[in-house]
Each structure stands twice: as C-alpha cells, then as structure tokens.
Chains A and B, each alone.
Chain A
Amino acid sequence: AQKITQTQPGMFVQEKEAVTLDCTYDTSDPSYGLFWYKQPSSGEMIFLIYQGSYDQQNATEGRYSLNFQKARKSANLVISASQLGDSAMYFCAMRGSRSGGSNYKLTFGKGTLLTVNP
C-alpha cells in the first residue's frame, strides 16, 4: 500500500520569499513517481512538477523545485519568489509501478494550505 503524509495543514509566507512544503511517502513498489499539484479555491487540480524514483537529479519547473531525498522518503516542494497567486492548497501524490499493480492510480496526501502575504 502507498501512503503520503503532509504534516503541515497550513503555511504562511511573505511575497517574494521562498517556502518549502513537506511531503513524506511510504511504498513497497520498486519504482514510483512523485507529483505535486496545486488546487486553487476554484477546485481544479493543476499539475506542477514530477519526480521519478530513478531520476538522478531533482526536478525543477520554473519557480518550483522538488527536493527528493530517497533514503528519507521525502519529496518536498520548494517555491521560490512566492507570488500572491500562489495562495492555494498544495497536494503531494504518488503513483506506483505497473509491476506492482498500482498502475496509474494516484495516492494523495491531505494537502497544505499556503497563504502568501503581501
């Protein structure tokens, strides 16, 4: 079984500063993928960044980077130069490997509500 833990129900950050959102995971699958999604109050789940378990380098997408520490089973999201529009719920999710039977199912954490203050 797969499990995602997000221990920060809410986070506050000043505009233009960086913020780290925590995510730890547990899985027995030999390979897996880790994702971060952003969900504004409108409800749409917006894909931000992906990290494969065998990727050698940490993923980056613009202002988003994923701090992947495999031994610690953590996949923290770092947002640099926060903007007011970054205020939203952020979900960490994982997908197992085909051989594990998990296929394309995503398992989500409970989310972290990020508030960016002006």
Chain B
Amino acid sequence: DAGVTQSPTHLIKTRGQQVTLRCSPKSGHDTVSWYQQALGQGPQFIFQYYEEEERQRGNFPDRFSGHQFPNYSSELNVNALWLGDSALYLCASSLRAKNIQYFGAGTRLSVL
C-alpha cells in the first residue's frame, strides 16, 4: 500500500521564478492538504482540496495556488518566488470522513 508520495524531493529556484510541486495521496484517500514548514517551526496550513475544489485556505497570498485532479493527486504552484518561500512543503492526504492526515516526505524548496 503506497503512502503519500511527493516530487521532487529537493528544488532550487531563484527569486521571481515559479515552481510546481506534486503530490499523490495514499491509496483510498480523496482529500489533499498542503503545509509549509519553515526551518525550526511547525507546519503551517496552506490549503485543502476535495472534489477538485479548494475547500479551505490558510493565511497565504494568492501567489500560492493549487489544483486537484480527478485521480485525487494534487499540485501546489507558487509564483513570483521570494527568499521567504524557502521551506519544506508537506502534502497530507486523508479520507474525507476520517480524522487522520498522513504526510509525505516533503519537498525542500530553496529560493536563492
């Protein structure tokens, strides 16, 4: 049973560029949530997707956008990157009616 998979594992970008991160949920899960974890901090909620729609959003600017596909996989897009976007980006999946979110290993983004 495959868990949550994220790609790529590491990414280096320069300021002003755009980035796309990808996530495949755990088998049987239909909801995907994205979190940003800055160094030394706990994860911060970015947004959540269910039935291909953004259902809830945290306190992040519109530069952060996402998408969910019919197979429940998801993408996180960040435009106009700046230094403060450097972080570990975690994807979590869950079954809508269940509580537990299972996380992937994350994508470590460095913005130079």
- A residues contacting B by CB (< 8 A) are 4, 33, 35, 37, 42-47, 50, 52, 91, 93, 95, 103-111
Contact = CB atoms under 8 A, between A and B. Distances in A.
Interface residues of B, number: 27
Q: Is the interface of A mostly helix, strand, loop or mixed?
A: strand
A50 B100 contact: yes
Contacts of A105: 33, 45, 48, 56, 58
Contact of A95 (B31, B35, B99): B99
Contact of B103 (A45, A50, A109): A45
Contacts of A37: 103
Interface in B55-112: 55-56, 58, 88, 90, 92, 94, 96, 99-106, 108
Contacts of B45: 105-107
